[in-house]
Amino acid sequence: MASSRKVFMFPWLAYGHISPHFELAKKLSDRGFSIYLCSTPINLGFIKKKVTQKYSSSIHLLELHLQETPELPAFYHTTNGLPPHLMSTLTNTLKRAKLNLYNILKSIQPDLIIYDVVLQMWTAGLASTLNIPAVKFTTSNIKQARNVCDVKNANNAEAEDNSTADHPEDDDQEVPKRFCDSIMVVRSCREIERKYMKYLSDMTMMKVVSAGPLFQDPGENQDEKNDELIQWLEEKSECSSVFASFGSEYFLTKEDMEEIALGLELSNMNFIWVVRFPVGGKMSLEEALPEGFLVRVKDRGRIVEGWAPQAKILRHPSIGGFVCHCGWSSVLESIEFGVPIIAIPMHLDQPINAKLAVEVGAAVEVVRGENRLDRDVIAQVIKDVIIGNVGDDLRRNMRDLSQKIQKKNWMNLWSC
């Protein structure tokens, strides 16, 4: 019976990865599976708030404890607020927790492991050792997933089966294909990436399963701060404002922050801008932003420190554009709510995401001059999207795409 089957989920240590895993967990729970979601205590503290009464008996949160050091204390066992120079340290520390994870798996004895392809491919080795079927899950787009998958290994001869081992090896091991190469679950859909899904499947001989967009219902976030922002938007006319945010794990340089601020100002459009600082690097908005900026834009701009209800803002009818870094979650939410993207990709998979968003008619990318952002270019693109024909065309394309996606019946994973 499906009601007795246990699924162990192991996301990468980033909120942008944990949230989609949790949304996938809810969908699988609705189908009768018992879910065991494993991450560090600091990340699970974020997820605990989202486990409603409906899922309290079917979604179990398991703590994975990493080694604490002066350089990497427990509050850095997440990418949220992690200084960039500590990323490799966190990655290696997680890898050294293999034995802890092995013991958890041995205790739970799940029927299936769903693991994040980002920096955690070694999980398949543990699955093989314990003779537990495992499938990859990518929270990024297919084009990026192809980069992190070892396509060549899909055609290699099967490695020696280590299923009889009674402890995990210290080094990464070759894993039989039946444990890691047969299925990949993707946080995407064929309406956006049909040709790339087929390409990945053909190249790797994997079955590619679409899980859909997988983001939280905007109505689940409620607080007074959110209400104030929404009330502010209520005073604006339809499609007259932009929302600007660059994710929870990238921090703008002083130069980029200045150009974006002045671009928003020069556009003369209403805006909400989420500004973040790394842990230990917080400064006042007056210090971080151009001199006099806050005074000049106070009647048409709202600056929010740290966090804002992105999905709730994007679905508001007064929002006509989204100035963003093109994290995959942001791209999917923009498409879901039909909001054109003003793309300013920064690093990692974001340039790929931006190109894909442009390709499907969901975005206009801000062109850098001499690899630098320019306030005048930013302002012009914002105006083109909010009051120009460019924005009208994008909104029409995105409305059609959004309707097709919303009609889909997602999650046929249980039939694989």
User: What pLDDT score does 157 carry?
Assistant: 35
Least confident of 28-32, 224-228, 239-243, 342-346: 224-228
Identify the H or E element spanning 352.
helix 350-359
Alpha-carbon distance of 104 to 100, in angstroms, equals 6
pLDDT interval class at 164 (50, 70, 90): very low
Q: What is the DSSP string of 36-93?
A: EEEE-HHHHHHHHTT--GGGTTTEEEEE-PPPP-SSS-GGGSSSTT--GGGHHHHHHH
Q: What is the tens place of the pLDDT at every residue in 166-216?
A: 444 444 444 444 444 588 898 988 888 888 888 888 887 888 888 888 877
Residue 55 has pLDDT above 80, yes or no: yes
Q: What is the tens place of the pLDDT at every residue in 204-220?
A: 788 888 888 887 766 66
More confident residue, 415 or 43: 43
Residue 320 has pLDDT above 60, yes or no: yes
- Interval 22-39 mean pLDDT: 95
* Catalytic residue from among 17, 77, 316, 325: 17
User: What pLDDT score does 220 carry?
Assistant: 61
Other residues' Cβ atoms within 10 Å of the Cβ of residue 383: 17
Q: What is the tens place of the pLDDT at every residue in 347-375?
A: 878 999 999 999 999 999 999 988 899 99
Task: Calculate the average pLDDT of the chain.
Answer: 85
- Rounded to two decimals, what is the model's pTM? 0.81
Alpha helices per DSSP H over 268-349: 285-288, 293-296, 310-314, 328-337
CA-based nearest residue to 254, from 224, 236, 277, 273: 277
Q: What is the tens place of the pLDDT at every residue in 234-257?
A: 999 999 999 999 987 778 888 999
* 167 classed as catalytic: no
User: What pLDDT score does 84 carry?
Assistant: 83
**Contacts with 399 (C-beta within 8 Å, 6 or more apart), sequence order:** 338
Q: Identify the bridge partners of residue 257 per DSSP, sorted by sequence position.
A: none
Residue 159 has pLDDT above 60, yes or no: no
Residue 299 has pLDDT above 70, yes or no: yes
- Interval 156-173 mean pLDDT: 40
Edge to edge, the sheet with strand 363-365 lists 301-305, 270-275, 241-245, 319-324, 341-343, 363-365
Exposed / middle / buried, residue 85 (Cβ in 10 Å: 0-12, 13-18, 19+): exposed
User: What pLDDT score does 158 carry?
Assistant: 38
* 374 classed as catalytic: no
* Catalytic residue from among 116, 181, 349, 384: 116
User: What pLDDT score does 46 carry?
Assistant: 85
Q: What is the tens place of the pLDDT at every residue in 101-152?
A: 999 999 999 999 999 987 888 999 999 999 999 999 989 888 776 665 544 4
Instruction: Walk me through the domains of the chain, giving residue ranges and CATH numbers.
Output: 2-214 (3.40.50.2000), 218-404 (3.40.50.2000)
User: What pLDDT score does 151 carry?
Assistant: 44
One-letter amino acid of 76: Y
